[in-house]
Amino acid sequence: MPNFDTLPTPCLLLDEARMTRNVDRLSDRARELGVTLRPHLKTCKNVEVAHRLTESPNPPVTVSTLAEAEVFADAGFTDILYAVGIAPQKLAQVLDIRSRGCDLMVILDSTAQAEAVVAAGGGIPVLIEIDSDGHRGGLVPDDPALVPIARILHDGGIPLRGVMTHAGESYGASGRDAQAEFAETERAAVVQAAERLRAAGLPCPIVSVGSTPTTHAARDLTDVTEMRAGVYVFFDLVMAGIGVCDPDDIAISVLTTVIGQKPERGWTIVDAGWMAMSRDRGTAAQAVDQGYGLVCNEAGEILPDLILSSANQEHGIISVREGSGAAMPDLPPGTRLRILPNHACATAAQHDRYHVIPADGGPEMPVWKRFSGW
């Protein structure tokens, strides 16, 4: 294991071996299901990680911001889906990115957006967003507006690439069977929408689904062409809490240093507060509440029933999980610990770089820069 002594804390660690195992797991699943994998890069926001997500040198990818689209287009990615409903004010930036040779696609679910894309010119390709579970935006599959919106695009010279959906409600589904039901609901919704478009004489080459729980649990993706997922590359405690992964699969952690002790209160105080971990409390509604994160020793081994139970801006408080019979170990000031995050996207977003624990176990730790913004 590399020596962490020279690293400033708090900082973000990335376990390359765990990441590679996670990436291979979903890539194998996509092959088994007979669909293309279009990884979502919003979690990693890093070119080195992006290049490791598929075997293709220039895979189809997904982004959540136009800043991501800019960076990955400049890095040579040419098949990008901007998977957030398009605002008319952003179409000029979309056209600029496309002018660099990047086939950037947008999504929409309204007549107003369709008319704006047509008016912008430049033939920006579109996927129509389908609402498969009431989680966010999109048209329900039998919405009367679906075909008219598609017709506006097609008749206006816009490449109608197909339909897409995101089963965000699957994050609340615990266990493989429940997640598989969401996967089938997701599949059925976009397939129904695609069939309606084709029956109206409109093209629909792409039928896209995706969330980390459903991509791992899906049993049948008949008539689907691609699946998308993002947090799978690192995983996190929310995904572990619903059974998609194990805590030992989580590839990122925050390295922190003990800066104080309050034994009379059962506290160990560290220099990783919510500015290092984020305010995300995604496990609070799950069967096991992990506080602001699960505590590991410097080697990454989970310390039984220790959680980051409270967080101020730059201070984190470690305590024994409420109701546990575990004892607080002696963790004197200067002790290095690692905290596994609730939400990988949110925790990673607090940092500007990864300190990479190499898969070969070598002593050198590469630094991979992250980016942020919109």
Condensed to tens digits (0 to 9), the pLDDT of residues 28-40 reads 999 999 999 999 9
Q: How many CB atoms lie within 10 A of CB 35?
A: 21
Domain ranges for the chain, please list them: 34-233, 251-369
Structurally, what CATH architecture does the domain formed by 251-369 represent? Beta Barrel (2.40)
DSSP 287: S
Q: Say what percent of the chain tops pLDDT 70.
A: 100
Q: By percentage, how much of the chain surpasses pLDDT 90?
A: 95
Q: Quick: pLDDT tens for 43-75.
A: 999 999 999 998 888 899 999 999 999 999 999
**Angle at CA of residue 228, ends 222 and 234, nearest 5°:** 130
In tens, the pLDDT along 299-332 reads 999 999 999 999 999 999 999 999 888 889 999 9
**Amino acid (1-letter code) at residue 242:** I
Q: What is the CATH code of the structural domain delimited by 34-233?
A: 3.20.20.10
Q: For position 290, what pLDDT does the model report?
A: 98
Q: For residues 122-137, give the mean pLDDT.
A: 96
Average pLDDT estimate for 16-25? 98
List, as one string, the DSSP characters of 114-171. HHHHHHH-S---EEEEB-SSSSSSSB-TT-TTHHHHHHHHHHTT--EEEEE---GGGG
Q: Which residue has the tokens 């690692």?
A: 338
Strands (E), the chain: 11-15, 36-37, 61-63, 79-85, 103-108, 126-129, 160-164, 206-209, 226-227, 252-262, 267-270, 294-297, 302-311, 316-320, 336-340, 353-357, 367-369
Average pLDDT over residues 254-276: 97
Per-residue pLDDT, averaged over 151-157, amounts to 98
Write down the residue that tokens 């590839």 correspond to: 251
| Mean residue pLDDT across the chain | 97
- The dihedral formed by the CA atoms of 207, 38, 171 and 235, expressed in degrees to the nearest 10: 170
Spatial distance between the Cα atoms of 159 and 153, rounded to a whole number of angstroms: 7
